Amino acid sequence: MTREIEEAMNALGHYNPTIDFAVSDQGDRLTVNVEPGPPTRIKLVDVQISGEAKDDEDFMRLIRLSPLKEGRTLNHNQYDSLRSGIRNLALQKGYFDGAYKVSRLEVIPELNQAIVRLHYDSGIRYQFGKSTITGSQIDIQKVQSLQPYEIGDDYQVSKVGQHNQNLSNTEWFSSVFVEPDLSQVGKGRELPMKVSLAPQVRNQFETGLGYSTDVGAKLKFKWKKPWLNEHGHSFDTSLDLSIPEQQVTASYKIPLDDVLKDYYVIQYGLKNVDRSDKKTLESNLAFERHWVLDSGWHRTAIFVTLLKTMSLTRRVS
């Protein structure tokens, strides 16, 4: 038990604790008294980044924000966090050849002092290379337009995540996986990218039952085709039925060159209301042009034409 207590105290920067054990007169209770002793303070923090990450501001910020500072009490978790943080940041930013030349925590218990030494050589920063797309039922140019980076851009894992998200947001695919081809590390600065896709099912159905005081029992049915052709067109329709009201809506989406930000939508709606005092039937057709701006604003131009409307008011005696 003494060893476990000492190891726990060491992790918090106390290398000279005093540990006493006391047993109760009945022999059924053990009391442990721990005096932590003087803290072990950091005498020197020697963190060096070499290679192409030497002047990378993200590494400088990580080191600057670390709580490991000269004069502070040593904490092993803080040391481990900085050591792993440097390595993880290197992988996120494409320094795939990075390695520690020195990774050492030196403790001098007699002097209650510690020295932190972390020397990391990042090597080169890799760049995005050519993408190989497999499993797509959609035109390759449409799929490539969803790539948020160009060949030769510095590798950034956040861009890979954005690429995955862009592909998923189209709803064309049941599975999406974008990754660098790490087997090519060391064979050139540009790292090929692998885009693995699987088509979404062509028909999706959804049904539901409900009840409201306005119309009573309701039936809802939805039918969606996430992709109709290699151009990525999609179609969906919904049917809402109750005794006094029936409504059908359908929409057809046509993506343009910038698939997620630039597209047309054609919508048709038909609604019939048959109540005791009034009966109406109307239908309309709408043409919409959508733009999603880089600022995040969504701009829409809509042209709506009323195809047919009929209204009949019943006289209640």
pLDDT band at 30 (very low <50, low <70, confident <90, very high): confident
Cα torsion angle, 40, 42, 43, 49, sign: positive
- The average pLDDT across 22-45 equals 83
pLDDT bracket for residue 294 (50, 70, 90): confident
> Using CA of residue 226, residue 165, residue 159, residue 294, what is the dihedral sign?
positive
pTM summary value: 0.83
Mean pLDDT computed over 279-295? 88
Helix crossing, 57-65 with 76-92: angle to 10°? Answer: 170
Asked if residue 21 has pLDDT above 80, the reply is no
Residue 315 is predicted with a pLDDT of 55
What is the tens place of the pLDDT at every residue in 130-140?
999 999 999 99
CA-closest candidate to residue 216, choices 248, 242, 247: 242
What gap in Å lies between CA 146 and CA 103, rounded to an integer? 41
Confidence of residue 314 (pLDDT cuts 50, 70, 90): low
Q: What would the mean pLDDT of 208-226 be, rounded to a whole number?
A: 89
Inform me whether the pLDDT recorded for 301 exceeds 60.
yes
- Judge whether residue 243 has pLDDT over 90: no
Strand partners, 117: 46, 104
- Structure confidence at residue 149 as a pLDDT band (50, 70, 90): very high
For residue 61, CA distances in Å to 73, 105, 125 come to 21, 21, 18
- Cβ-Cβ contacts under 8 Å for 193 (sequence gap 6 or more): 128, 129, 130, 131, 132, 160, 178, 179, 180, 181
Mean pLDDT for the chain overall:
91
Other Cβ atoms closer than 10 A to 151: 13
Average pLDDT of span 68-96: 97
Q: Exposed/middle/buried for 49, CB within 10 Å: 0-12, 13-18, 19+? A: buried
Structure tokens at 154: 């510095």
Give the residue from 61, 65, 185, 178 showing the smallest Cα distance to 123. 185
Which range (18-27, 87-96, 151-160, 164-173) has the least confidence? Answer: 18-27
pLDDT at 237 over 70: yes
pLDDT > 90 fraction of the chain, expressed in percent and rounded: 71
Indicate whether 34 pLDDT > 80.
Answer: no
Categorize the per-residue pLDDT at 235 as very low, low, confident or very high, splitting at 50, 70 and 90: very high
The alpha-helical segments, DSSP class H, found in 12-156 are 57-65, 76-92, 140-144
pLDDT score, position 94: 97
- Give the pLDDT of residue 308: 64
d(CA 177, CA 175): 7
Radius of gyration of the chain (CA): 33
Here the tokens at position 172 are 């064309």
Share of the chain above pLDDT 70, in %: 96
Q: How far is the C-alpha of 52 from the C-alpha of 93, rounded, in Å? A: 11
Residue matched to tokens 């990754």: 179
Q: Which residues pair with 30 in a beta bridge?
A: 23
